Amino acid sequence: MKILQILPELNVGGVETGTLDFAKYLVAHGHQSLVVSHGGKLVAELERAGSRHYVLPVHQKSFLSIVKQIKPLRKIILEEKVDIVHARSRVPAWIAYFACRKTDASFITTCHGYYKNYLFSQVMGWAKLVIAPSKVIARHMMDDFHVFPEQIRCIPRSVDWEKFSIPRTPKTGGEPRIITIVGRVTPLKGHVYFIKAMAKVIRSMPHIKVWIVGDAPAKKEFYKREVEVLIRRLGIQDYVEFLGNRQDIPQLLSKTDVLVLSTITQEAFGRVILEAQAAGVPVVATKVGGVVDIIDEGKTGLLVQPKDTEAMAGEVMRLLKDPLLVQQITAQAQKKLKEEFTIDKMASRTLEAYQELATVKNIFVIKLSALGDVILITASLKALRHQFPKARIYCLVGKDVVKILQSCPYLDGLIVYDQKDKGWWDIFKFSSKVRAYKFDQVIDFQNSRRSHVLAFLSFARDTYGFHNGKWSFLLTRPVSGYRNDIPPVEHQFQILEKLGISYKTAHPFLELWPSEKDRQYAQKLLDAEWLGNSKNMVGINIAASAKWQTKNWPVEHVAKLCDLLSSKNIRVVLTGMAKDKILVKKVLSLTHAKPADLTGKTDILQLAALIKKCKVFVTPDSAPLHVAAAMKVPCIAFFGPTDSKRHIPPAKKMIVFEKKPACAPCYSSRCKIGTHACLQDITPEEVAEAIETLIGEHP
């Protein structure tokens, strides 16, 4: 793989050292390593180790500078054919996130800090995978940045054991004992409390030397002066030495007797603790953040509460006075370090995350409505799962149709959209929920303005749908030149073909997944109508939707069909919605048979379980037709105002009645010539004959 790490600068610091160590590992293990930064003292060592370095001003926090660096970084990514872009700080992450948008590179972040939850920091949670160096940071990203647990990889930082394991020379009685603090001189690192604690140590043990390694950033010079004033006020200036930023940390640690970490806020990790442990130095640290992942209290180090100068001084003196305790602590610390915090372990786990990025897709399917149309995408969902077996596939559905896909085995989850939220501001707010899933691809089967906007606002790299003029310019991969004169599932596959999924090889069929509870409910309905043991039972769906009354077969024909089937000892159940009761009442008044009226008594999956009990199901072009096809029940479908070629679902066995007078298909909700000939001309006798044929074929 070709990996690009991006960070502000390559000067001293834990992030910078970790970047260098990982780059060396990548090169040593046959990968190509690139680093983008503003430069620094570590660049020469990085390049000697075989990495390539690009200088860009990715350290500047101004909005204009961030925007300006997107294009140059994207050029590097494209020209170098980078596979993974790994951002290790917030400004570089903003640049890298948008630079990756029009490339094939995957974006990943490592959260090296305990970031405050405001907009500037949000980008660290936008990657599909987020690396947290400690459990505290992982929990912080989940709780405060709403990153899903499955998107976080907790990978502790590491230390170059060989670099820090310099032999230590035993000190003679006259040599001062050295207490060292390493880190930027900033308020968060707690130098003021460290100095107060060291004053107590010096008063009790005068043969002490205190080293402050690190310097203050330009904006924190005031704090360094505050520390200097405190040292003079406490009268310990002869014991304290500021060493500034140093490259010889291993050598300094080899002379150190105790390392102190006095951070007063949540520490992301505490790499300097590992370095001290590798050098055989005991550590006293404040109990903050990721420090507790490294130090087991009393075993691999000593912990104190932040700002507790009395405890800090006491624990330092305890170590200085007890060489046996030091020996035990350093031995246990080095044992744990070798087991958990090696470069090999950190790097191999990071490479696993990279591999996951490259192979696991997050796919977002949009199909908000309607009932029958949602059933129609089940064949496409199965094809997607077959094509991408390791993908995480989610589907956006309307609140009123969510039950259809609740048990779908091809989905990892559903995102429910309340279609009452019709305003653009509602859509914009909802999109933040979608973005949290970090989708790579969006497949928009709804193909409306609303769905295209949601696809766009998901920030997915690839968004698919039809180039239908309904703001389809928002899609990154719109399908042009598609056909509208083909069945609905085949029509959907015109989008899936863009993902390498062929309709001809997929052999798609619809599916539904009623539960055992649904099946028991259907059985109780039939038992109540004395139909529980009926061997020849036919279901008749009485009507299509309220909008499409022209799709309905005349009630007189339904009544006649009931009589014809009754004469053949075939029982009939009438299905439909509660609104269809008025039609059922008319049928019952016209027929001598006694069909069971089950209209309004089932939801969609209960209906599926009921239809499964039928030998044949008869229905106009409506959602129950799709249900019957999904349940693999032989069915008879009536088409009149709509064209069967465009709306027929794939089915194991289906007989279509479609008379096609000159006015059909009209796609009108009312018959303009008043005869309703397209369905009136379908006779009960021919339908009864077709039913007998199907029953004979499926006894």
Say yes or no to pLDDT of 601 above 90. Answer: yes
Would you say the C-alpha torsion 446, 447, 450, 455 has a positive or negative sign?
positive
Three-state DSSP at 264 gives: coil
Q: Same domain for 177 and 311?
A: yes
Within a domain: 351? no
Say yes or no to pLDDT of 534 above 90. Answer: no
User: Number of H helices and number of E strands within the chain?
Assistant: 29, 25
- Give residue 447's pLDDT: 95
DSSP string, 297-350: BTTTBEEE-TT-HHHHHHHHHHHHH-HHHHHHHHHHHHHHHHHH-BHHHHHHHH
Within a domain: 537? yes
Mean pLDDT in residue range 18-24: 94
- Give residue 421's pLDDT: 61
C-beta separation of 93 from 87 below 8 A: yes
Q: Same domain for 8 and 148?
A: yes
Domain that holds residue 629: 516-697
- Give residue 652's pLDDT: 87
Q: Same domain for 541 and 619?
A: yes
Boundary of a domain, candidates 451, 472, 506: 506
C-beta separation of 388 from 467 below 8 A: no
Q: Same domain for 7 and 80?
A: yes
- Give residue 159's pLDDT: 87
Within a domain: 321? yes
Mean pLDDT in residue range 395-409: 95
Of residues 288, 277, 287, the one with CA closest to residue 329: 277
Within a domain: 670? yes
Q: Same domain for 574 and 676?
A: yes
- Band (pLDDT 50/70/90 cuts) for residue 422 is low
More confident residue, 478 or 699: 478
Q: How many domains does one find in the chain?
A: 4
Q: Same domain for 181 and 284?
A: yes
Q: What is the pTM of this model?
A: 0.83
Sequence-separated (6 or more) residues with CB below 8 Å from residue 260: 179, 180, 181, 194, 197, 283, 284, 285, 312, 316
Say yes or no to pLDDT of 536 above 70. Answer: yes
Mean pLDDT in residue range 638-659: 93
Q: Same domain for 521 and 432?
A: no
C-beta separation of 510 from 378 below 8 A: yes
In whole numbers, what is the pLDDT of the chain averaged over residues?
Answer: 93
| Strand-pair partners of 159 | 342
Q: Same domain for 535 and 495?
A: no
Longest alpha-carbon distance in the chain? 116
Q: Same domain for 404 and 428?
A: yes
Q: Same domain for 182 and 331?
A: yes
Boundary of a domain, candidates 154, 189, 204: 154
Within a domain: 245? yes
Mean pLDDT in residue range 186-196: 95
Q: What is the CA radius of gyration of the chain?
A: 35
DSSP E strands: which ranges in 39-139?
52-55, 84-87, 106-110, 129-132
C-beta separation of 508 from 650 below 8 A: yes
Within a domain: 354? no
- Give residue 247's pLDDT: 86
- Give residue 426's pLDDT: 86
Within a domain: 347? no
Boundary of a domain, candidates 488, 506, 524: 506
Q: How far apart are CA 160 and CA 22, in angstroms?
A: 10
- Give residue 533's pLDDT: 82
- Give residue 699's pLDDT: 67
Q: Same domain for 482 and 334?
A: no
Say yes or no to pLDDT of 173 above 80. Answer: no
Q: What is the CATH number of the domain that holds 71?
A: 3.40.50.2000
Of residues 116, 64, 67, the one with CA closest to residue 94: 67
CA torsion angle 132 135 141 147 (round to 10):
80
- Give residue 79's pLDDT: 97
Write out pLDDT tens, residues 282-323: 999 999 989 999 999 999 999 999 999 999 999 999 999 999
Residue 183: HSE in the Cβ half-sphere, 13 Å Cα cutoff: 23
Mean pLDDT in residue range 214-236: 93
